Amino acid sequence: RKNGQQQPRGRPGSARPPAQPPECGADQRVTLLTGDPVSAA
């Protein structure tokens, strides 16, 4: 499940600043939100 380039809102605990590599930025964000690496893939 990919949220595209949307910023995670309402979850400051899991939300991270856009300081991640563009190649895995979106995927890493989804992984942090869902806590499931499988969902990001």
CB atoms within 10 A of CB 8: 15
Residues contacting 7, CB < 8 A, separation 6+: 15, 18, 29
pLDDT digits (tens, 9 = 90+) for 1-36: 566 656 656 555 555 666 555 555 556 566 666 666
Q: Which residues of 19-40 are buried (b: 16+ CB within 10 A; e: fewer)?
A: eeeeeeebeebbbbbeeeeeeb
Q: Is the pLDDT of residue 40 over 60?
A: no
